[in-house]
Structure 1
Amino acid sequence: MMIDYTVLKLVWWVLIGVLLIGFAFFDGFDMGTATLLPFLGKTDAERRVIINTVAPTWEGNQVWFVTAGGAMFAAWPLVYAAAFSGLYWALLLVLFALFLRPVGFDYRNKLPSARWRNSWDWALFAGSVVPSLVFGVAFGNLLLGLPFSFDNTMRSTYTGSFWALLNPFALLCGLVSLLMLLTHGAAHLRMKADPIVAVRAGRIMRLTALGTLLLFLVAGMLVATHVDGFAITKMGATDSPANPLLKQVMTGPGLWLTNYQTYPWMIAAPVVACLCALLAAVLATSRAYAWTFVVTGLMMAGIILTAGFSMFPFVMPSATAPGNSLTIWDATSSQLTLQIMLIAVVIFLPIVLLYTGWVYRVIRGRVTIETVNDNPHTMY
């Protein structure tokens, strides 16, 4: 039985949102951890402790990013085409930064040289801090709108540049992204690392949590007062095939807040983000290690959902031709494609989640300095 096309479009908007939140939760803590590596580890043993809290699982965590990209390609082909061509240099920057992570984890412990190991520590730092910033910058530019348009044959044209992406508002969103991942990474270290490292992580976590809250509120005020939002004024049928040229769109300050008036329950996202950021700062020195980690995860989910709820149903707004903006209604694959993919998700996602839960159960417990010293060759 075929599921209603409109319902499928909504379902895939939710599923891709889940994948992005899953990526932020799982890959976010190891990126935050690697970013903190040069600063929290005072000795080689302490740095090895930090690395070994994430090294066994970082590859599996990275799959969330790959899966989100694949799902976007399959579910929103127009978005994938416009974004991955227009943002080519930004994505290459992320790709080359991510190259540093596998070689950093695998090669760091090959030689005992302090210079060798320190160089790979900074490589892991760069391979984590750059994607953390760029992902936030990307969200900031989505809220501003990207300079692309389609002609009558649906060929896209992107008129922006890499340097134009680094505008003040987008960089502010990049800092929000970086600080929230640092907070999540610090919460992870408080739960998994040797007590010496965990105490330092708690101190920095308080600062990053409060910084996340402050910058998130500043970004929200700018969205409400200065950033032009988008709103559909005329739309075709939501169950029609993909064609972004059949609608009319208006822009203006404050329009990104329209959904919070139409759907008041959406206000829960920014409220949860703010409350969890504040709670994370309070719990930064508590013994509720696991609960603090959950709180930082909810904080990130709230921040991501705030952006998603604000933009709904837009996925990739166009600053140069607002009517060509891509939405969940006019940028999706066919009904049959979405339904087949949904069946695959229903079958395989529970398996992936069960396996992930089993892996984290097996490796539960702290990584201590004594453990890494006793296993100089078998641990990273």
Structure 2
Amino acid sequence: MITENAYAYMLHNVPGLGNKTLMKLLQEFGSCKNIFEADESLLKKIMTVKQFKAFALKKKQWNLEAEYEHLYNTGIDFYHYGSAGYPIRLLDIPDPPFALYCAGKLPDERRPSVSIIGARNSSEYGKFAAKLFGEKLASMGVQIISGMARGIDGISQQAAVYAGGDSYGVLGCGVDICYPEENRSLYDELISSGGVISEYLPGTQPKPQFFPPRNRIISGLSDVVLVIEAREKSGTLITVDMALEQGREVFALPGRICDSLSYGCNSLIRQGANIASSPEDIVDYLKRNLGKNVCKESSAIAGGSSQSGTESINASSTFGLSKTQEYIFNSLDFYPQTTSVIFEKLLSNGIEVTVAQVMNCLVELCIMGIVSQTGTGFYRRG
């Protein structure tokens, strides 16, 4: 018996039949099988001449059962709009995807989801925040959605996986293609413990024009969109616009007014976005406004203590350091500070240390890889 999914998969493979046309056809004829069997005159009222020719040729050449069985055997799941398993969150968004491909699994509809997005070339402050929010939210049972891109996306998703949580990457290419290649290990981990999702056919190579449309799926699968870092004119803000159009809540991480990577976030806050001062801000929103079942204690999944995320990260970062190294590390920020500023800060806190000791410890911390130097300034690595 040929399934409705087999008909939908064939339609999605017709060259030139875009998402909007496919959705019009589905709305007009009620099912993919009905589209496949529809009278030519009726199809031509919706399809262009070029689209109908492509449809007719594909219909003639396509083996419905064999092609769909081949897709099934690759381990890639296929869902079309309205079918069983298609994400409920996407049903009512503007321009919902006609089809979705998934390697791994789709997000659990019963659990809260937060998308964490931001700059590809993030600062140390942004990296720290992405790790903190990704780890803490995931450890409390929140599913993390993002685009698996370099920078904030990948960092937050990797932190979620390390915390033992579930994360899902929405791609601007086929789900059988890892992009960017540098996130190969994350890609493999997402397929094992979460999933990678795309509206593009398997084998589709990444192209710039594919990424803006996929952002509506990232925000659509989420209850909340969190922006970690974004320039004033940033692709990240495209996702924010889509999230607002979909009725999703937006949170933004505040930053210094002189940092270009925080211009976008500060602007969002000025326009009414929620301030993300800690992961608990988002958890409180999910529980208070959406009634989502969020575990308050991070130990429920991660098996850790109930420390705040900042304390937890500081503890792991300073493990094995001498007292002097630990004092100096904890005095550092994510913005460069000179040796003299660090020295004065230590003295004001009652820590007796010489300038030579400070300089030696800074060099040692740089060698360990937890501190970096730029010019005459030193800063903590995210």
Fold conserved between structures, TM > 0.5: no
Larger proportion of helix: 1
Query: Which has the bigger relative contact order, CA under 8 A and spacing at least 6?
Result: 1
Q: Which has the higher strand share?
A: 2
Q: Could you state the TM-score of these two structures normalised by the residue count of structure 2? A: 0.21
When normalised by structure 1's length, the TM-score is 0.21
Greater gyration radius: 2
